[in-house]
């Protein structure tokens, strides 16, 4: 609406130039200039090219092995959706990873966190406030990460290994801070876009048509309008019929590492494998594209 109104304002000369500069600066601020990404909520990765490269790398790497995918749920714990999601996962005996927001963990939702963990799922850090961490000072970034780890630890006694940056936005400094806390950053390869509030059949089609071996599938558990809970049973049934197992991210990492080792792809530091851009760790060398072709 704001931009629409601007269209009818005509300015010429110096005023016009000043307005152009203002508009450029304004749009850079609100549209996350650091990552060339302008969707308002968790959606496509801001590092789209990077993700795309990784997506094709992962597909090539895993194309003949055992079939597995990782279901991930961001933005919880929500007290209205998480319970339903856990029940569906339990009914279909599927494991998943939940990326939690520190500020949503309170006395009431701690019980949900515990329930998720006790059901055998993995808990990850999705920041405390869901702000775009690349816009914060380094100290504030660390606080966001540490507060959330502490809240998860208090609720479920689990040390957190995985971090997913809000909006998929990260930079070197954020990755360094994540590593300082012994965590790895991870994005996703298949986006359900369930935050848009689409009907279940649209979500099912979107996930199933984009599936590949080793997929990391992004859902949310915060939105009443989304068809996530309704779509989930069908998605699990279809993927299981196609031969996929449902694993936590730590299991996902273990399987990918084993496949890489079995295929004899050189790993510079023994024991761990990191896909540049998807998994980032200062303690290990990134596995670069040329290793995968």
| Closer CB to Zn ion, 203 or 287, in the complex | 203
CA distance 153 to 183: 14
CA distance 260 to 171: 27
CA distance 219 to 130: 16
Please state the closest distance from residue 182 (CB atom) to Zn ion, in A: 22
Which residues of the shown chain bind Zn ion in the complex (CB under 5 A)? Answer: 42, 74-75, 166
Q: Is 191 a catalytic residue?
A: no
Please state the closest distance from residue 102 (CB atom) to Zn ion, in A: 12
Q: Spell out the residues 6+ positions from residue 206 whose beta carbon is closer than 8 angstroms to its own.
A: 191, 192, 193, 198
CA distance 201 to 49: 28
| Closer CB to Zn ion, 74 or 198, in the complex | 74
CA distance 183 to 127: 12
CA distance 191 to 171: 21
| Closer CB to Zn ion, 42 or 160, in the complex | 42
CA distance 192 to 262: 31
* CB distance 147 to 139 below 8 Å: no
| Closer CB to Zn ion, 74 or 253, in the complex | 74
| Closer CB to Zn ion, 183 or 287, in the complex | 183
Peptide bond into 77 cis (omega under 30): yes
| Closer CB to Zn ion, 124 or 281, in the complex | 124
* CB distance 103 to 195 below 8 Å: no
Active-site annotation holder among 121, 126, 220, 274: 220
Q: Is 74 a catalytic residue?
A: yes
Please state the closest distance from residue 111 (CB atom) to Zn ion, in A: 22
Please state the closest distance from residue 16 (CB atom) to Zn ion, in A: 39
Q: Are strands 96-100 and 68-76 parallel, antiparallel or unpaired?
A: parallel
Please state the closest distance from residue 198 (CB atom) to Zn ion, in A: 17
The label of the residue with tokens 């040390």 reads: 159
Burial class (CB in 10 A: 0-12, 13-18, 19+), 257: middle
Please state the closest distance from residue 75 (CB atom) to Zn ion, in A: 4
Which residue numbers are catalytic?
Answer: 74, 220
């Amino acid at each position: 609406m704001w931009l629409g109104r601007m269209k009818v304002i005509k300015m010429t000369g110096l005023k016009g130039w000043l307005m152009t500069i203002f508009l450029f600066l304004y749009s850079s601020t609100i549209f996350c200039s650091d990552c060339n990404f302008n969707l308002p909520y968790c959606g496509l990765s801001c590092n789209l090219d990077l993700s795309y490269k990784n997506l094709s790398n992962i597909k090539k790497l895993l194309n003949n092995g055992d079939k597995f995918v990782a279901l991930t749920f961001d933005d919880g714990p929500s007290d209205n959706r998480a319970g339903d999601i856990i029940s569906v996962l339990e009914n279909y005996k599927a494991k998943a990873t939940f990326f939690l927001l520190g500020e949503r963990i309170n006395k009431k939702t701690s019980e949900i966190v515990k329930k998720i963990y006790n059901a055998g799922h993995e808990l990850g850090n999705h920041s405390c406030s869901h702000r775009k961490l690349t816009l914060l000072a380094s100290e504030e970034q660390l606080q966001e990460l540490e507060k959330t780890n502490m809240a998860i630890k208090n609720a479920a006694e689990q040390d957190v290994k995985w971090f997913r940056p809000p909006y998929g936005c990260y930079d070197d400094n954020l990755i360094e801070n994540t590593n300082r806390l012994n965590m790895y950053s991870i994005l996703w390869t298949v986006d359900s876009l369930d935050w848009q509030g689409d009907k279940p059949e649209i979500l099912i089609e979107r996930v199933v048509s984009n599936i590949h071996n080793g997929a990391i599938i992004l859902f949310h558990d915060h939105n009443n309008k989304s068809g996530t809970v309704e779509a989930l049973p069908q998605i699990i049934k279809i993927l299981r019929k196609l031969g996929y197992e449902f694993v936590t991210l730590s299991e996902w990492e273990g399987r990918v590492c084993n496949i890489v080792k079995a295929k004899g792809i050189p790993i510079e530091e023994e024991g761990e494998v990191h896909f540049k851009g998807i998994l980032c760790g200062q303690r290990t060398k990134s596995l670069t594209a040329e290793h995968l072709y």
